[in-house]
Chain A
């Protein structure tokens, strides 16, 4: 299974690169993360509006790991308007890239080492990065669908993961994040670091329904989709994400990009090329 996953990732990477070259999708970011294909599927959202109705998700590509400091450095080199000295306050909070020494120097502090996920980036900056990479931020549905597609075998395993995640939300040290890819837990589709590394931006982090949900002492329990602690952890993640503003730039919030695509068509393209 692991081998298949790996093979899957490698092929996906080649396909995407080939396509990117073909259509000139890649603007200027060359240090690409591996992209993983997330097939069509459905899942149950936590929101009351969709209670009982599974939410459909169409296939898409998702970065295997969150964007790192070194990848983001390359982006701000090519897009100086996103360097911290230049970015307008309207697009990024005061704390935007605070831990970087300067606009072009992440610095050597633990936090900024190149393979650690970039954090303290606003929604605007993350969106712009993804656009420059030929993609976009994943939607909340896409991200959640990818994140909960785990091959766990028993309720107990979901419980254990839930406790672990709630422990992470209440003890994460923003000054000492792990490197990307260092998580052993890989989702069904080969995505890494979805749990317990950083919170991640999604395109619609505060959907309209947020205004109808009462934030009070009973909310966490009320939104739980089942009795497991994993579901409770999902509620915490969702409500926490909904409290952000597009300018929010904080030490445990990073992102990864998603890309539209059609895996079957991409395969055909490559085949056509080789036959030519």
Chain B
């Protein structure tokens, strides 16, 4: 009797699924103004996968950006699993973060304008996933190699099963299909085309989105322009800087935890570059006097603005949102709203220290600073 009931329930479930499948309108692929739209419907399924959580040749740990060594366009197969990781965000401050790939912000994905991306993500939040030694399959992405050499957030695996999703600002798709929420144990796969150049954030889009992003689920995709920037040949160093806020309070034991009240009232406990209040002082960016440095700067929020400035330098060129047509010259500070970015270039005038800073000083004093250390002129 019981089994009969179960089978009926399952059958009904399957029928509903079939109906949903046939009822969804899927726009076939088409071209418009040289761009490609209309991606196949996302697939949600379960798989036994427990391999490397970050897979892709051009995925790196902040502040690194992988070089694009291929000509023209490429079809990328990228995996970024979502799972929980206890991490350090300032000296003595650790919490169990919801992550993409195990760090906050998540890995930097680098592609070229016009590239197609087949993206896969498994929700492994009910599973312990380690990204530090000994880790098998480090070769799966530069990110895993870099985080193993330099685990600056001192990550350790934790389990906190929650539903999650992925929203790439660099993709132009229907969010109710591609950005849909999957429960722990499920995998989602979908395609998107990098139609516009620029630096775009990605984040979890599952409500409460404020909670999911403040808990750590965000990162950036850098889409380099097809024809490049006119300054490409002159650039000596290229780095990625992501600003973001944490809203933490003391929790049980030594751990910190999410402070909902502070998040709702936009009162962060920490504002950081690359996820850690001290990292860019402990491990400064490097260059030499006379170098041209390019920074892809993104303000991932979730809720505040950034007035990005480099003490001792003037931005020779600013490409707002990282698009080569959005060129501005001679800027002291770039204002970035939540989920805005800019590609900035400056000449390092002389040997010495230069401070990257959010010129909204309350945020600077909560951690949003870093150092660029310049050596002698070559």
Contacts and interface: CB of A to CB of B under 8 A. Distances in A.
A229 B181 CA distance: 23
A36 interface: no
Contact of B185 (A90, A91, A167, A250): A250
Contact of B215 (A170, A174, A235): A170
A62 interface: no
Nearest to A239: B207
Given A93-B46, A124-B6, A217-B205, A171 B175 contact: no
A244 B6 contact: no
B210 interface: yes
Nearest to A244: B183
B183 A252 contact: no
A112 to B, nearest CB: 14
B160 A173 contact: yes
Contact of A166 (B6, B13, B260): B260
A154 to B, nearest CB: 17
Interface string B30-50: 000000000000000010100
Among B9, B162, B205, residue most surrounded by chain A Cβ atoms (within 10 Å): B162
B159 A173 contact: yes
B120 interface: no
Contacts of A253: 161
Contacts of A120: 126
Contact of B10 (A90, A172, A244): A90
Contacts of B160: 171-174, 252
A33 to B, nearest CB: 20
B209 A170 contact: no
Interface in B306-334: none
Given A128-B2, A167-B251, A243 B163 contact: yes
Contacts of B260: 163, 166-167, 170, 229, 232
Interface residues of A, number: 44
Interface in B151-197: 158-163, 165, 175-176, 180-186
A253 B160 CA distance: 11
Interface in B244-262: 251-252, 255, 257-258, 260-261
B208 interface: yes
Contacts, number: 121
Interface in B73-98: 95-96
B184 A235 contact: no
Given A216-B175, A229-B261, A251 B161 contact: yes
Nearest to A213: B207
A250 B123 CA distance: 11
A220 interface: yes
A263 B175 CA distance: 48
B208 A124 contact: no
Contact of B2 (A131, A163, A174, A217): A131
A179 interface: no
Given A124-B9, A245-B186, A232 B208 contact: yes
B205 A251 contact: no
A172 to B, nearest CB: 6
Contacts of A174: 126, 159-161
B123 to A, nearest CB: 10
B251 A166 contact: no
A214 B175 CA distance: 10
Contacts of B271: none
Nearest to A91: B6
A205 to B, nearest CB: 11
A209 B350 CA distance: 63
A65 interface: no
B207 A95 contact: no
Contacts of B348: none
A188 B127 CA distance: 36
A170 B206 contact: no
17 contacts: A91-B6, A94-B185, A128-B6, A131-B2, A132-B2, A166-B260, A171-B257, A217-B205, A217-B210, A219-B208, A229-B260, A236-B208, A236-B211, A246-B13, A250-B126, A250-B161, A252-B161
For the complex of A and B, 9 pairs with smallest distance between CB atoms: A243-B163, A220-B208, A170-B258, A250-B161, A219-B207, A171-B257, A217-B209, A166-B260, A220-B207
Interface of A: 81, 90-91, 93-95, 120, 124, 128, 131-132, 163, 166-167, 169-175, 214-217, 219-220, 229, 232, 235-236, 239-240, 243-253
